[in-house]
Structure 1
Amino acid sequence: MTAPGDPVRAAVDAAYRDEWGQVVATLIAATGDWDLAEDCAQDAFAAALATWPRDGVPRRPGAWLTTAARNRALDRLRRDAAGAAKLRLLAADGAREPAEEDIPDERLRLIFTCCHPALPFPARVALTLRTLAGLSTAEIARALLAAEPAMAQRLVRAKRKIQEAGIPYRVPPAEQLPERLAAVLAVLYLIFNQGYGEEDPDRALNAEAIHLARVLVRLMPSEPEPRGLLALMLLHEARRPARMEGGVLVPLEDQDRSRWDRDLIDEGVAVLDRALALRRGGPYQVQAAIAACHATAPDTASTDWPQIAALYGALARLAPSPVVDLNRAVAVAMAEGIPSGLALVEELAASGRLDGYHLLPATRADLLRRAGRKAEAKAAYEEALEMAPTEPERRYLTGRLQEL
């Protein structure tokens, strides 16, 4: 975490969020060595921490970091006889100054390389989160609800597979785009969600995910799901200003809707309408339709909960997931009554499919509170508090406990 009053560290942190993917992508494109690219990128950010306090933050931090990482890679390859071919490629690449317009294409090539069908689907998602977003193994494991040691092995095997299979570093030809689309969309949405619930949300990653979704829409204009994902991101982003208050997470029903970004809502709804006009029924379109129901309702009481419950039912058929089932239970509770939704939550808890997921006891606690079962709600809030991964969520749960 950045120390208060440390502008240089804040600048390095911001550059990490903004530039990590570009620096790594540039080195991978030049050398084909994923581990070397990550190592030298880390060295470049360490060098920034050492030199920027003395020399000042450069006008173009991304170009500075890319040059520093490339120079570090040159040094390492000069000491490695086996790196002669990579050294020639990197030296040639160094003759070109990094340009701002290169960033989207370079990162998109990185995503499509990571999402090659020769890799298992979970490995595609994990590898892109690591190389593009710079997430740690622990952060990726948490995002994908997986064990950290297993995630580390998954990343190692994915990198080895790319090198051994000679997977090309490029955006594939048009006929090969559809088979990689599902993984690319999943990666972009996970990148968008990273930090969304944190006290200091990572706006750089969200902005980059939205930007890349726009690029993907232009790349595949006849595909509805990239538009569905873009609409979903825009509608979520529109509600961001009201999601946190004084470092405490604010649930949807308590948010000040006057603070929502109406321009983003209008754009998100328009993008969704265009996606639905192309073809109905994809999971991102359905999620965007749910978000649109929330975003266009003037208040919680007028929200179309029966429609939301029906949409979650459709989503459960398209993309089965216990998290979807949990969200559907909440919608059913609001549409049909607390007992109906609570029964679904209890059934989900008994299945064990969401063991260790803090939102399961948190949701159960909220429904129990609404039902007037305070003692049970208190126990469920305490269980959720022990699992909650972020400070804003812990503050929210603590507040609920104090109310009880």
Structure 2
Amino acid sequence: MSVNIIIKNALKKFGNDIIIPNLSLEIKNSEFFTLLGPSGCGKTTLLRMIAGFNSIEGGEFYFNDKKINDISPGERNIGMVFQNYAIFPNMTVRKNVEFGLKQRKMSKEAIDKETNKFLEIVHVEQYADSMPNKLSGGQQQRVALARALVIKPDVLLMDEHLSNLDAKLRVEMRAAIKNIQREVGITTVYVTHDQEEAMAVSDRIAVMKNGVIHQIEKPKDIYQRPSDLFVASFIGKSNLLKAKLLVNNGDAIISFLNGYEINLSNILENELKEREVIVSARPEELHISQDYNSKNGIRGIVKDSVFLGLNTHYFVTLETQEDVEVIMESSIDKIIPNGSNVLISLNEKKINIFDSENSLSIMEGVSNNI
């Protein structure tokens, strides 16, 4: 059985240090939900509170309507996959997966049936009689996942469990984990500091900093319309440019430091007031050209470029003394040489605008389910 997880006003302290001051969220039944943030932001602490491994100094935690604050970890019916896999080195793959079922005193027939089922789900059935030290890191990760799922927990908790794998294997494993989670249909809480990983696997993401959730939304919504500067900077790459918001007869105009101006129609009506702002533009939301004499952009000089096949990444110092990265589809003819004078313009429909004082978005279309 899968469950909703409801957290109300969670408080976590270590001594006099407040790690999570006042956190509330709801994770939906069968959802793949990711806690994303930098090291020390409180995401693993929150996961361990859900698991019962950390004490709860304040607030209420529920699985559906059942309050779990005072329920021991062993009675919460959770499956957990750790960063170091935590599989038993002295047991075969099969015995590792069987372990939780034997603890539950199931019949041999039921144990064999369920073990075989989950070995097949995670595609390690051919290694059933192998010892863990004979397996690759990805294979060991699959065994740990099978062991966590075979007991049919209400919730699957996963803590930075791909961080020990190489880059190629991480990509393969995150696809496998998402497919397995969909097949099993279990509520999953996934902790990572890797924003690309979070984007690839999650139904929704909670972006955390200093024990506070800044935004909860679908990956696409967080990437395209971040709620504040922290989210914009942490999710993907962002070029941050200083500018002014001007208002002319109810129309919003963004004026950059060199005088380049663009009109925007998607500023919130109640935010239409003149002020200093920060413009966030993803590298793919900028355009680079060698039309240096045009006034329809910001002039700059190419400092470096990196050819990556489909795309070329340009690193440009602007006349405003700001540095930007621009990603353009690679040209068949040539790459713009280092030292070239270029003009940078913006995709006005995709950029984001933030108040320079409170760092909050002033854009239409920003959604947040906190």
TM-score norm. by structure 1 comes to 0.23
Greater share of residues in helix: 1
Larger Rg: 2
Greater share of residues in strand: 2
Greater RCO (Cα-Cα under 8 Å, separation 6 or more): 2
